[in-house]
Chains A and B, each alone.
Chain A
Amino acid sequence: MDKQSKEIPLPSTDKKVITEEKGLPPVNHTPKMPPVKPPATSPSSGDKQSPKKQ
């Protein structure tokens, strides 16, 4: 698979769905995400190596 095919955007966050949780207000502020490793490049059950850091 070439690199371009991996960059196909996934569905974006649909804000309408959030507001449909009636009675549960959306959260405006989220604390900063802790450091994470880059996502895997191929589906794995957790035994594959992580991709190279960018």
Chain B
Amino acid sequence: MSNTNHYQERFWKELHQLRVHVYYLEIYYDKSEAINKAINIFLAITSSSSICGWAIWSRYNFIWAIIIAFSQLINAIKHFLPYRNRLKSIKSILFEFEELLTSSEMKWFDVAEGKLTKEEINRLQFTIRKKKNEIVQRHLGEESLPEKKHYFKRATDLAETYTNNFYNSED
């Protein structure tokens, strides 16, 4: 890397990192929603009186008793399960990240075409980072977002495919 395009390289990395994070949050959102939906379906089934009345349960009443006990447990703690809260936070972060990614990607043209000085490129890069931090802090607050390595691997692959397709960046 020559010193001349050091700041462009950094901006490029920041842009790529933002894209990976957008994909990562999309995958995170989809998976959290799927888990939340599965829990709700399970609770709906176990609370259905018609299913409860199925003749099969008279033969396997022990299994049904376990299912009911489990569903009551889930019902009691479901408001404390992280998926519901995460869904709202991730959706809000994702929405703002996507806007930030679009505006940052538009600025890449000026960065790549040498229309901006090193100072301007540096300022742009730190603006992106600052905005990312603000968005995450605003929506996640005290909540945590446990790292999911397989989601992140998938997000990295998707972002690299996008970059190779649109920027012809072979690595």
Contact = CB atoms under 8 A, between A and B. Distances in A.
Interface of A: 10-11, 13, 17-18, 20-27, 29-34, 36-44, 46, 48, 50-51, 54
Given A32-B171, A33-B8, A38 B21 contact: no
A46 B80 CA distance: 53
B136 interface: yes
Contacts of B58: none
Contacts of A32: 169-171
Given A24-B145, A36-B5, 4 more contacts: A11-B126, A21-B136, A26-B17, A39-B5
A18 B171 CA distance: 24
A39 B121 contact: yes
A39 B171 contact: no
A36 B111 contact: yes
Contacts of A39: 4-5, 7-8, 114, 116-118, 121
Interface string B129-171: 1001100100010001111000010001000100110011111
Interface of B: 2, 4-5, 7-10, 12-13, 16-17, 20-21, 24, 110-122, 126, 129, 132-133, 136, 140, 144-147, 152, 156, 160, 163-164, 167-171
Given A17-B129, A39-B5, A30 B117 contact: no
B16 to A, nearest CB: 5
A27 B5 contact: no
A22 B170 contact: no
Contact of B5 (A17, A38, A42, A48): A38
